[in-house]
Amino acid sequence: MLQQMTSGNNVKRLVDFIPKLIDHSSIASGTLAGLAMFMVSVINTYEVIMRRFFFKPTTWVFTASLFVLMWFALMSTPMVIKNDRQIVADFLTSRLSKEKRSMLKILANFLSIVFFLIIGYYGSLMCIEAYQNNHMTLGLFDYPSWILYICFPLTTALILLQLFRSTVTEIRNKMGAHTDINPEMQFRQSDKKNITKGWLSENLLSTIFFLLPVLLGVYLFHTKPLAGLIVMALSLLLGGTPAAFSLGLTAIVGLFITQQGFSSLQIVPVIIDKTFDSFVLLAIPMFIMGGVILSKCGIGMRIYDLASKWLGSLPGGLAMATIIACAIVSAMIGVSTAVAAAIGLIAIPQLLTHGYKKGVAYGSVAGGALGILIPPSAGLIVYGYLTNSSVGLLFASAFIPAAMLVFFFLIYVFLISLKNDKIERLNYSWAEKFIALKKSILGLLAPVIVLGGIYSGLFTPTEAAGVLVIYSMIVALIYKEMDFKKFINICRESATLGSAVMMIMMGAMILTNLVALLRVPRVISEWLIHSGISNLSTIIALMFMYVILGMFLDGLAITVLTVPVLYPIMPILGLDVISFGVALCIFVEMALITPPIGLNLFIIKAITGDEITPIARGNIPFAVIMFVAAVILLLFPQIAHWLPKILGIM
Amino acid sequence: SEAKSTRKLGLSSTLSPNSCIEIAADKFRDTVKEKSDGQIEIIRYPSCELFDAKSEIEAVSMGGVDMGVLHGAYVGSRSAILEFISSFGAVGVWESYDHYWRFIDQPEVREFVESEFKQKLNAKVLGIVSYGTSLVGNRVRPIKTVEDYKGIKMRASGKAQATLYKTLGAIPVEISSNEVFMALQRGTIDGAASGPSRFYFSKWYEVTPYITQDYTVPYLSFWLSINLKKWNALSKKEQEILQTTGREIEVWTRNYVEKETETLYEKFRGGLVKEIYFMPQSERDRIRETVEPVMHKLALERIGTEKGAILWELLKKAR
Ligand code: NA
Ligand code: NA
């Protein structure tokens, strides 16, 4: 009896211990991934120094960096899953009851498990094959491929455990919630039945609503593959499955049905390897890390302080200062949401206390945050990757259009402020102005170093990202804003943000492979040629498609879904690849501020606690200005070409 | 009238549109269709539509796509013997197109190819397709002698090329292919080697005012190949059609690249670059003499002494 109880306790202890162990492993794995990416920044900076100043470039930095990228993406994923930080299109699911939502989450987790089982299984096969046949990598520093591919079995094991663990928790909560809410009714048989019935029907309903369109997609794959692809991908996305797994899973089902069953799934790890074997893509996690470091050491405050002291005395000066501050910080950070967060926290209260209307305050921050348009830009890196264009060229091309857009914003807030007589103008002494400049000079130097380094030939855009991380680190140390705990947090945050992007790239590339196998771009281009629709109407249709997609979907998802299809038909449409990429980034910026789903809107909501409606309303003029700027750019691509031509890189 | 095809095969390739390899692959498709009276339909996935150069190799060996025109350097990462036969492994030692072609036309070499592809790539080669020789483009100075290589930063892909540059006193640097143009333009690297069509179509000539043809470049060849399982599933007649067409394409590309190269040289001479320089035989011999012992040693090291020695003899025999 006693023995039984102890063993019972042991079992209970074990049951409690295992989930904790999984959680700790996931966090450890993610932290390690972030640390590894920091090391990649260190070695790339080392490479730049050795090449430029000692004429002794290494043979191993390139290889080692790419080796880390794939491990980084997959090793961070368990932590991303644990913390529920995947990129999800949740504007439909967020309106559902808690009960329905958690049921959908269980279903999404189940599908994610299937996805990673496939990756883990076929990835392990690839690893074993590489081991048995002594496959080597290609490069100045070559090593056996299995050392890279072994990340498939190792990381998917932890990912699967974490997914399993989070599913079990979700199910247990569900059961718990259902019994806890109505404890006193439990004894009454008939009521219990009713509750169970309600509970069952809620879950059954959401299951059916989720699975029906998904199954319709599966069915359509047999007859109309393209329709199947669209229906399945959209229903998974809108059903709350993380974007990365929605795309990847659709691709896997499509490959299975339209190609050769299980044997066509062998290609999945090959495509993942191909995705992460990219020195260009490597720039994204490092630019993200640099941005995280800079924003954690209060760079937003310093830059805003500078801009407001210098511009505060003009009509609408504080709003203009906000826009300028956003633009400057955008030149350090590769994603717009981080810019909005860094500036919004300081600027919005200031704007409101000095008499600005809510709309202008919200719009200047959310609209003004042009992190994706102003280089360095995660969006342009992804675009360069998808279209094989030089990232350096894309960065240079984005400058003038971005300046034009910022200028339009300034005119808008200036004009609208003329009508508002409540606005206070702020006058500062020259001493105060220069103190603000001194305090922010290290931050202002970051974009100068990054872009100056790229265009003087000191380093490539990817190496620039590494240099930015090291520079930001030095700035943080000088500002005394860094300690060990903060550093570990930065590593974790960067790993979370970076790997969420990398996972989407992975899912999208598998889907792109299916799209190519189904010859979708070719079908569309042939249809376009024969339909007699003019290029102009097609381009106009495209622009509206981007506006509508942008209302609901994440900018990265829009880019990876449309560019692989559009890129091959750009010559037919007479679109210039480079200026179109910049225009696309404007649409992505616009997606961030258009309702119902706009991440920058949500950030303002989180900062101010205001309703989403006034926030969205304040941003509409900014969205309209962006649309106009994108149209101007598509009509006059020369605007984008001007600077690259001056620099001689085009 | 169109006969209904009974056999569909996908053929992937990874080069820029209108390059020799892409044209050759289309030509292969058309000829096979014609010879089989429409029975064999080759579905083309051109210009990296499905895979890049590296993943295409995995794909063909796993059957993710039936056929591919595989990149010599990447195939070389699977087998040192194939790296050597594709000219990369002995880069700097070849004397001319004709020397290289005489080498690969030896039956012993083809036997090596057959068995290596079977073992290492689970595939069969239908033809060794020429892409032309590379040129060396340079932004600092014209390369006229061995000594001109001293101290310049050269983009290198693969160990063999890196070894060659080090032997010549140059500094090998690894740069991803997207960024080569800007790296050349901004001086992150000083020079890079690639086919004349790459220099022309990707406008590298704008940033490399000096172009040289010497020995330090591989004679780029691609492997038109088919997954072994797919091959074995074909009828004898179908196999024969693919095999003979593969050989025809092989010969066709050799003539085509020579013409294409001449046309492009004319364009470079016509003012696209400051100087296009053809290294005289005496200086070429100096380069070869400098690198030959090193490349010989590398070949033996990477392939193994026995087979390495055989291949090296075949290379010398073909001179
Ligand atoms: Na940016
Ligand atoms: Na939106």
- Considering only CB atoms, which chain A residues are within 8 Å of B49? 516, 568
pLDDT score recorded for residue A6: 63
**At residue A195, does pLDDT exceed 60?**
no
Question: Is A461 an 8 Å CB contact of chain B?
Answer: yes
**Per-residue pLDDT tens over the stretch A337-385:** 888 988 998 899 989 999 999 999 999 999 899 999 999 998 999 999 8
Residue with tokens 């974007």: A243
As a whole number, the mean pLDDT across chain B is 90
CA of A619 to the centre of ligand 2 (A): 11
A355 CB neighbour count, 10 Å cutoff:
14
In this prediction, residue A189 has a pLDDT band, given cuts at 50, 70 and 90, of low
Which ligand lies nearest the alpha carbon of A378? 1
Do A57 and B172 make contact, defined as CB atoms within 8 angstroms?
yes
- Residue B119's identity, in one-letter code, is Q
Min Cα distance A114 → chain B (Å) is 21
Backbone angles phi, psi at B127, to 5 degrees: -170, 145
Which SS3 state, helix, strand or coil, does residue B10 take?
strand
**Per-residue pLDDT tens over the stretch A285-341:** 999 999 899 888 888 889 999 999 999 888 889 999 999 999 999 998 888 888 898
**Per-residue pLDDT tens over the stretch B106-125:** 999 999 999 999 999 999 99
Backbone angles phi, psi at B174, to 5 degrees: -100, 125
In this prediction, residue A187 has a pLDDT band, given cuts at 50, 70 and 90, of very low
In this prediction, residue A88 has a pLDDT band, given cuts at 50, 70 and 90, of confident
**At residue B17, does pLDDT exceed 80?**
no
Q: Report, as an integer, the average pLDDT of B79-104.
A: 92
Question: Is B228 an 8 Å CB contact of chain A?
Answer: no
**Per-residue pLDDT tens over the stretch A216-265:** 999 999 999 989 998 999 889 888 888 899 999 999 999 999 988 898 89
Which SS3 state, helix, strand or coil, does residue A280 take?
coil
**Per-residue pLDDT tens over the stretch A451-462:** 899 888 889 889
In this prediction, residue A194 has a pLDDT band, given cuts at 50, 70 and 90, of low
Question: Is B304 an 8 Å CB contact of chain A?
Answer: no
Min Cα distance B282 → chain A (Å) is 30
Is residue A176 exposed (0-12), middle (13-18) or buried (19+ Cβ within 10 Å)?
exposed
Do A139 and B158 make contact, defined as CB atoms within 8 angstroms?
yes
- Considering only CB atoms, which chain A residues are within 8 Å of B172? 57, 59, 140
Buried b (16+ CB within 10 A) or exposed e, A138-147: bbbbeeebbe
pLDDT score recorded for residue B210: 94
Question: Is B247 an 8 Å CB contact of chain A?
Answer: no
Q: Are B160 and B295 in contact (CB under 8 A)?
A: yes
What's the complex ipTM? 0.83
Least-confidence region, from A189-198, A496-505, B166-175 = A189-198
In this prediction, residue A196 has a pLDDT band, given cuts at 50, 70 and 90, of low
For residue A28, the surrounding DSSP H or E stretch is helix A2-54
Question: Is A483 an 8 Å CB contact of chain B?
Answer: no
Q: Which of B51, B67, B182 to mutate to test the interface with A (most CBs of A within 10 A)?
A: B182
In this prediction, residue B1 has a pLDDT band, given cuts at 50, 70 and 90, of very low
Q: Longest C-alpha distance within chain B, in Å?
A: 64
Q: What is the DSSP string of A394-456?
A: HHHHHHHHHHHHHHHHHHHHHHHHHT-TTPPP----HHHHHHHHHHHHHHHHHHHHHHHHHHT
Residue B270 CA, chain-centre distance (Å), reads 27
Which ligand lies nearest the alpha carbon of A597? 2
Measured between its terminal Cα atoms, the distance across chain B in Å is 50
Q: Are A365 and A326 in contact (CB under 8 A)?
A: yes
Q: Report, as an integer, the average pLDDT of A513-530.
A: 84
Min Cα distance B48 → chain A (Å) is 10
Find the CB nearest B64 among A136, A270, A461: A270
**Per-residue pLDDT tens over the stretch B226-238:** 999 999 999 999 9
**Per-residue pLDDT tens over the stretch B291-308:** 999 999 999 999 999 999
pLDDT score recorded for residue A199: 66
- Considering only CB atoms, which chain A residues are within 8 Å of B59? 267, 270
Higher pLDDT, B67 or A526: B67
Which ligand lies nearest the alpha carbon of A588? 2
Q: Rank A64-68, A102-106, A386-390, B261-265 by mean pLDDT and report only the highest.
A: A64-68
- Residue B44's identity, in one-letter code, is R
Which SS3 state, helix, strand or coil, does residue B9 take?
strand
Q: Are B45 and B65 in contact (CB under 8 A)?
A: yes
Measured between its terminal Cα atoms, the distance across chain A in Å is 83
- Considering only CB atoms, which chain A residues are within 8 Å of B181? 390, 393, 649
**Positive or negative torsion for Cα A128, A131, A134, A138:** positive
pLDDT score recorded for residue A161: 97
**At residue A186, does pLDDT exceed 50?**
no
**At residue B47, does pLDDT exceed 90?**
no
Q: Are B291 and B164 in contact (CB under 8 A)?
A: yes
As a whole number, the mean pLDDT across chain A is 88
